[in-house]
Structure formats: C-alpha cells, structure tokens
A = this chain, B = another copy of it.
Amino acid sequence: MTDIQRQYQDVRQYTEHLCEPLQLEDYVPQPVIFASPPKWHLAHTTWFFEAFVLEPNLSNYKPFHKDFSFLFNSYYNAAGDRIFRADRGNITRPGVQEVYDYRAYVDKAMESLLKNDDYKALITLGLNHEQQHQELLITDLKHTLSGNPIFPVYNEQFSIINAINESSGKVEISEGVYDIGYQGEDFHYDNEKGVHKTYLHRCKLDNYLVTNADYLEFIKDGGYQTSNLWLDEGWAWVNENNIKAPLYWHKVDGVWQNYTLQGLKVVEPKQMLAHISLYEAAAFAEWQDRRLPTEFEWEVSADQLDWGKRWEWTNSAYLPYPGFKTAEGALGEYNGKFMINQMVLRGASQATSPGHSRKTYRNFFHASSRWQVFGIRLADKH
C-alpha cells in the first residue's frame, strides 16, 4: 500500500468513525444555516472526489446518481446549481444508507486513480478538504445536539474541550524583517503561498491560553455589561443576542455548566476557554489591558509556542498575501473569495483531524462565530 493509498483509507475511514456514536436521526437536521448535517458532510466530501477527481480523469466513470451533484455541492458556483444552503436539513432522501453506499461506490472507483502518481496532488487536496469537514462535522453536530433540552450524550469518552495549559511564561520576538508563508514541498493551501517579508516590532506572546477560571473573573467583573471594553459591533452583538457567557454555557442553580459531547458538565476552571467569538476575545484582552497577537507575530513565534488545542483568534483580517493567485476553475473558489470581513485564527484544535495543521495554516471565520473550538492567547501591548 502506497502512502497516498493509506492516507486515502485513513481519512475516509476517520469520517465514518466520527459518525459511529450517532443514531440515524442525528444525521438529518440543520438547525442553523452555518452548521450542516452529518449526512451532508459524508456526501459532500465524497462528491468532491466524484466531481473534481473522477469525472474529469476516469473516462468510463458513471456518477452514482444524477441528482447528487445538485444536492451535495456546497459553494462552488462554477460547478453547477446548488441547493439552497438552508435546506440541507430538510432533504430526507437519499437516506443515510444510500449516502454510505455512495461513499463505497466512489472509494471503489478511486482505486485505479490512487495507483497513478499524476493525481496525488489533487487527491491530497480532496483529503485535506475532507479533514476540514471532519472538524466541521463534529462541531456542527455538537451545535445541533446542544439545542436539545435533554442534552444528549454523543460519546461518554469523547470531548473536544478538555485541555489544560502545559506551558507558562512568554515568548519574545525581536524587531526586524521576517519571512511569512509556507516554504516546503508538502501539502498547503493557496492562501498560505506567496512567501514574503514582513516587518515586526518587538512583541511578547503568552506561552499559554486563557482559562475558564480567567474568563469567569471577566464575567464576575461585569465584562459583558461594560460597553467600553467592546468593539462597537461586538457591543451590538452582545445586546441583540443577549450574550452573557461563552457558547454552550448555562447557569444552573447558580453554577456554570456547559454542554459538551459528554452531556452537560460543570465548567472546569483549569480548562482552556473555548467557544468564544472574536468580540469576546477582544473585550477580554481589553479588560486585561493587553491585546490579541497578529497572525504574523504568531507565525514567527510558532516554533517556540505550545499550541494545538484551540484555534486562536488573531487581530489580523483574512486578506491575500502579496502575489496571491487563485487556482483555475472551480477549485479556484476554494479560499480567495472569502477574503473579506473574516478574521484569521492560527493553531489547531482538539477537533482538528490528526496531521491537519501547520504553523503557516490560516483558518478564518466571522468575528461572531463561536461554534468552533476557539480560544484566546494574549500578547503584551506595544
């Protein structure tokens, strides 16, 4: 078995492994527009191989079902009509079993292409794409289950937030010109490309993340009620949505508990804080008279930092590097078109698939997003 064959098998199986604890009903709903059902993730990642690998390259390939391209495309405008995103949870047919059959059918068809080195780069992109959806699958699922008033358990043994800091102190970067961007031969996204120089001023980043205990102090001190700690949009967001704590937190009989994939649990003070928006991260930083690092400070410090349990909000907007170029065709829609009104996160979380990050990796979300495993690392003000 070659490397790519093994990787293909591992990644594809891992998606299904994540679904093992599910009841069949769990595969279906989409309570919010941004979180897709497991059934859709299983099918969409498979459609990616069908549409971008098999159909263009396997001459006798016959699609599994003529309507699946329509049903399971996500946002690739160039690849045909899409089903309206908010309807993903209302499409009951094809059923779950048929989607698993679709996966098996595509996996079988992939076998011959997996033997051919010409497709290795394209297949690797497909596998990285699937790994991204693995993280979404588990975080989307957490969001869906969290809305059930009986707080269902996904898996008694599994959590995506149970990490504590194992380092302390600060990491310092001296002033000067640094190289930014991916340098190497392995897989990486187009948005990491364009190695370029950037000038950094001296800075100090914590070698640990904000904990629940830290954040409980912020709440206790009236952080959510103090307008001048917040960005203007953040303050509007807090008030319109009546936000009083991180996502999934509930005060029950005076005690803060949080919904986890193991059910409702008491908030653990030593745990790294999770499920907060950039607005909350920025307000917390302001409360401590500190700041969020930029993505460039983070990348330059990365080799000295202890990271990998949380995606960490930076105060950098998601914008192209000098020399950024989008790929031709539908795959060109992958990253560039999202470069507006999103903020960069660096690191990796406990929900990130094994091997699916690196120090140059640029994750990005809207400032109000909370359902991913987002945390806070602080830097000293200049």
Instruction: State the A residues within 8 Å of B (CB).
Output: 23-29, 31, 39, 67, 70-71, 75, 77-78, 83, 87, 89-93, 95-96, 144-145, 147-150, 152, 177, 194, 196-199, 201, 227-228, 230-235, 278-279, 282, 315-317, 319-320, 322-323, 325, 332-333, 337-341, 343, 367, 381-382
**Other-chain residue from B147, B338, B343 in contact with A232 (beta carbon distance below 8 A):** B338
Question: Does A198 contact B199, Cβ atoms closer than 8 Å?
Answer: yes
Max count, chain B CB within 10 A of own CB: residue among A92, A230, A317, A325: A92
CA distance A269 to B282 in the complex (A): 46
Question: Does B92 contact A28, Cβ atoms closer than 8 Å?
Answer: yes
Say whether chain A's binding surface is mostly helix, strand, loop, or mixed.
mixed
Q: Which residues of B contact A27 (CB under 8 A)?
A: 25
Question: Does B92 contact A29, Cβ atoms closer than 8 Å?
Answer: yes
By Cβ-Cβ distance, the 3 closest A-B pairs, closest first, are A317-B317, A31-B90, A25-B92
Q: Which residues of B contact A343 (CB under 8 A)?
A: 340
List 9 A-B pairs, Cβ < 8 Å: A23-B92, A24-B25, A25-B96, A77-B227, A89-B90, A199-B199, A201-B322, A232-B337, A282-B340
**Assuming A75-B232, A89-B89, A228-B78, is B83 touching A23 (CB within 8 A)?**
no
Q: Which residues of B contact A147 (CB under 8 A)?
A: 87, 90-91
Question: Does A227 contact B89, Cβ atoms closer than 8 Å?
Answer: no
Question: Does A77 contact B228, Cβ atoms closer than 8 Å?
Answer: yes
A139 to chain B, nearest CB (A): 16
Question: Does A144 contact B92, Cβ atoms closer than 8 Å?
Answer: yes
Given A25-B95, A31-B87, 7 new contacts (CB under 8 A): A29-B92, A67-B150, A77-B227, A78-B227, A194-B382, A196-B199, A231-B337
CA distance A361 to B233 in the complex (A): 22
CA distance A94 to B244 in the complex (A): 29
Q: Which residue of B lies closest to A199 (CB)?
A: B199
Q: Which residues of B contact A26 (CB under 8 A)?
A: 92-93
CA distance A27 to B25 in the complex (A): 8
